[in-house]
Structure 1
Amino acid sequence: MALLLREAIGDSLRRTRVSQSRTLREVSNSARVSLGYLSEIERGRKEASSELLAAICDALEVPLSEVLVDVSEILAVAPREKVAADRASVTGRIAQDTRVVIPAPTARTLAAA
């Protein structure tokens, strides 16, 4: 399943808030948005309007453009991480002592070539 834009935005906002050691309550008060709604945005469950996103960025004292650059980087990396996770999942299901045996060609096969 692909990473959604709202999930990437929420991830970026949460990482920014946490890096500032600020609580949801502090940011929600500054941005004048309910604590519950801000939490839903950070978890990628709700879409933030451009006006609300700007208010949250102002409350975090971070330019909206910086959040959008971060989001574009998250979205660019997400497909590669999914491929790596899928490969690890397949590899994890194959026992480490499993060997692939390729039979030697027969004389008939060699003669036909």
Structure 2
Amino acid sequence: MGFIMYDSTSQLHIEDRALAHLKVVIATKLRRNESFTVSWTHAEGDAYGRSTIWLHPSIPLRFTFEGRQQPALNPRWIEELMQSANSTGGITLVDEVVQDSSIEGHDKSPTSG
């Protein structure tokens, strides 16, 4: 379970595989100097509800992964997240879009551990 450190104070805990995909989308948007939101429902055991943060290229952001290995990336999942990022609602963390049987074991919720 990794996390995104946002504004040097806030942390969003997220499973490493989902975080790797989210990092690609966030880095792409910020590299284009685009601001957007990221929304998620709180994980079991956290306060009930949902949260949204505003991401802007000037806000410090750090991605920390628990594992040392970069997971194989699923282009279809990245595309789904990018479409979400380009919408008026911003990125909403969604379950992985399984594209073939070799990835079926990785269809966990983005915030599950």
TM-score range, shorter chain: under 0.3
Determine which structure has more spread, i.e. the larger CA radius of gyration.
Answer: 1
Q: TM-score, normalised by structure 1?
A: 0.26
Which one has the bigger strand percentage?
Answer: 2
Structure with the higher fraction of residues in helix conformation: 1
Q: Normalising by structure 2, report the TM-score.
A: 0.26
